[in-house]
Structure 1
Amino acid sequence: MGITSVHRFSKALTSGFVGVFCLIVGYNNVVDFNTNYQFIVHVLSMDSMEPWFSGTQLFDRAISDHGLIIAAYWFIILSEILAGLVISLGVFFMFKGAKENKVTFIKGQGVFLLGATLAIFIWYFCFAVIGSEWFQMWASTENAQMKAYTFSAFILMVMIYVIIPSPKEWHDV
């Protein structure tokens, strides 16, 4: 196995870590539905703000309708699972094409990037933007802002790693 194949296997394996992460998070949210449901309730209803928070003019954003909260939570869970499945499909193609078939590997990269973009949508846009800023999660006792940034940063780093081509000199080894 040449160095280019090792590089491709490394990209496929690292991508697989992201897919497993998404699937485990989605699975955990189904199996232990109530734990993170309570988190979502507090963030969306804005009922757990720190005592020092004085942004009362923002409380009209709060969502207290439990039907809407459950729908939002199921949207998040299904998005996590879908991201994990799409990423896993991409990883399958990446592993399949890692040794010999560059076209299959590149197809896998594209599918991975699609799933990883959905994961960025979940953890960056839904949690870091909508949760942290629109619903002021940063000022709540239920603050997962740093986790959202951590997850997003790792996913983005893997996306960058996956699209970086192998050095040309490796193709001759």
Structure 2
Amino acid sequence: MPEITDTAKVSRLAKTVLMAAMAFFFTLVVFNNITDFDSNYQFVHHVLSMDSTFPGNHGMWRALHPIALHIAFYVGIICYEALNMVLCWWAAAAMFSERSATPAAFVRSKRIAIAALTAGMLLWLVAFLEIGAEWFLMWQSHTWNGQEAAFRMITIEGILLLVMLLPESGE
């Protein structure tokens, strides 16, 4: 096997550490959502209830009022975040274990990272920007509007995805 250049080693380590940082982020998100359930539950409750949208808007028929649905939505989000957390840690571990391997082996290890980052982006895009912001008109709320945070996370994960997709030296 040919010697791996110092640049390739640094690049692989950078990608691995960035993936671990994303895993740590999702770990904190899941931890916070479980240990302080009510804080973010209130966000979901108000978005689904549409109780802070513009008065008299014609989309109020979309509002969901049963508390059981609010809890189900929120628990679903937490479960999805937890799955994404596991995928991110798995990806970081796989990449770390292949850090000295052939370019092809390291590229294979990045598959999990690509899946995890894509899944994370889908969370923010679908759950927050499409369902929350557009279907439940979250954009109309001054208090319960998560568009900025969702956009920030799509941007961070998108940049990391582009980093993961960069070719490896020797590829």
Q: TM-score, normalised by structure 1?
A: 0.90
Cα deviation for residue 103 of structure 1 reads 4.0
Contact 2:103 2:169 in 1 (8 A): no
RMSD over aligned CA atoms reads 1.6
Cα deviation for residue 20 of structure 1 reads 1.1
Cα deviation for residue 55 of structure 1 reads 5.7
- 106-115 or 60-69: bigger deviation: 106-115
Q: C-alpha separation between the residues in 2 aligned to 1:35 and 1:54?
A: 25
Q: C-alpha separation between the residues in 2 aligned to 1:44 and 1:103?
A: 46
1:154 is matched with 156
SS of the residue corresponding to residue 75 of structure 1 reads helix
Q: C-alpha separation between the residues in 2 aligned to 1:167 and 1:101?
A: 10
Q: C-alpha separation between the residues in 2 aligned to 1:144 and 1:89?
A: 28
1:28 is matched with 32
- What's the CA shift string for 1:75-113, capped at 9, x where partnerless? 100111110111110110111111224344223210111
Cα deviation for residue 124 of structure 1 reads 1.6
Instruction: Figure out how many residues of one structure are paired with residues of the other and give that number.
Output: 166
1:48 is matched with 52
SS of the residue corresponding to residue 120 of structure 2 reads helix
Contiguous gaps of at least 5 residues in structure 2: none
Contiguous gaps of at least 5 residues in structure 1: none
Amino acid paired to 1:153? T
Residues 1:77 and 2:71 are matched in the alignment: no
Contact 2:27 2:85 in 1 (8 A): yes
2:16 is matched with 12
Contact 2:22 2:88 in 1 (8 A): yes
- How do 1:93-172 and structure 2 match up within 5 A? 93-140=94-141, 141-167=143-169
Contact 2:103 2:168 in 1 (8 A): no
Q: C-alpha separation between the residues in 1 aligned to 2:93 and 2:131?
A: 32
Amino acid paired to 1:145? Q
Q: C-alpha separation between the residues in 1 aligned to 2:57 and 2:15?
A: 47
Contact 1:93 1:107 in 2 (8 A): no
Cα deviation for residue 152 of structure 1 reads 0.7
